[in-house]
Amino acid sequence: MEFLANLDFWFTVLRCTTPVLLATMAALIASRSGLLNLGLEGTMTISALCGVLGSGFTGSLFVGAVAGLASGTLYTMLLAYFIQHLKANQVITGVALNLAATGGSVFCLYSLTGDKNASNSLPSAAFPAVDIPVLKDIPGLGQILSGHNCLTYLAFIIAVIMFIMLKRTAFGIRIRAVGESAEAARSVGINVERVRYQAMFISGILASLGGMYLSMGYVNRFTANMVAGRGYVALATNAMAAGNALMGMVSSILYGFGSGISIYLQNNNVDPYLITIIPYASIIIFYVAFSFYYKVKKKADSSL
């Protein structure tokens, strides 16, 4: 357990937390509006690819960011259209679009770069790392919290903003009202479809940021299947959050903790197959623990 005293380990935990935290916030706002955004995996894949292609072909980080955000958000809005207007099954549609994104990304990568596995031949811009003044000079704490990619700090800021927005703002209350009872919301004049489209739009932006972090922050290239199930993990961390953005942040950090352990063990002659499953196994364990906690809490509240 000596890795717990390793400052680089905790730095890695925060790095691994970032894409899942952004995807968790994306899942959370969609679920609070009454929709299941099962397309997170596909959104992250599309945005990761388009961000690299946009920045690689133009040499501009701004163009890459716009391309990633636009493509991922449009993908999410397509899912919202299928669900809202065409009344398609949320699960089937989400899975179908995820599969299309996975296969389509490899096809596009091969068509544009001639490589099916990675965009190594295409130089990509990257979001910058940020050294926080004063904090970076604090022994220990500075090594853990300073020097991260700017999207890492943005992810944690977004989680706090999401918590406040859903609890304290009129827009957040409308989202919650629509999610809890669409008919009751309609009865007081709330446009349910519009609110849900707005929630899915924000969900698309957040998931796109998570995807771009993987290809333009965590590493500086796109590789096939680089999202590696993080979109599905975000659905689990959102379930653990039970609609609370701050709890979503905690559950995402737990995933980051599991990922940090797996990275640490790579240098300790541990079976690579075991290393691969650690982050996902940790989520299952934590999910069971959270479910037990909520069950006990509900029973205690009902007995009062």
Residue 229 phi, psi (nearest 5): 80, 5
Residue 22 confidence (pLDDT) above 80? yes
3-state helix vs strand vs coil in the chain, percent to 5: 75, 0, 20
In whole angstroms, how far apart are CA 271 and each of 2, 259, 266, 268, 284?
Answer: 19, 15, 8, 9, 20
* pLDDT at residue 4, as a whole number: 82
Length of the chain: 304
Under DSSP, the state recorded for 2 is G
- pLDDT band (50, 70, 90) for residue 144: very high
> How far is 89 from 45, CA to CA, in rounded Å?
22
Can you give the pTM of this predicted structure? 0.93
> How far is 151 from 14, CA to CA, in rounded Å?
11
Could you give the domains of the chain? 1-121+149-297 (1.10.3470)
Residue 148 β-bridge partners: 130
Under DSSP, the state recorded for 133 is T
For Cα atoms 66, 193, 23, give the angle at the middle one, nearest 5 degrees.
Answer: 45
If you average pLDDT over residues 193-203, what whole number do you get? 97
Q: Which contacts qualify for 6-11: CB closer than 8 Å, 24 or more apart?
A: 6/264, 7/140, 7/143, 7/144, 8/143, 9/260, 9/264, 10/144, 10/260, 11/143, 11/144, 11/147, 11/148
Residue 295 confidence (pLDDT) above 90? no
Average per-residue pLDDT for the chain: 92
Which pLDDT tens digit goes with each residue over 26-81?
999 999 999 999 999 999 999 999 999 999 999 899 999 999 999 999 999 999 99
> How far is 72 from 268, CA to CA, in rounded Å?
38
Which pLDDT tens digit goes with each residue over 224-256?
889 989 999 999 999 999 899 999 999 999 999
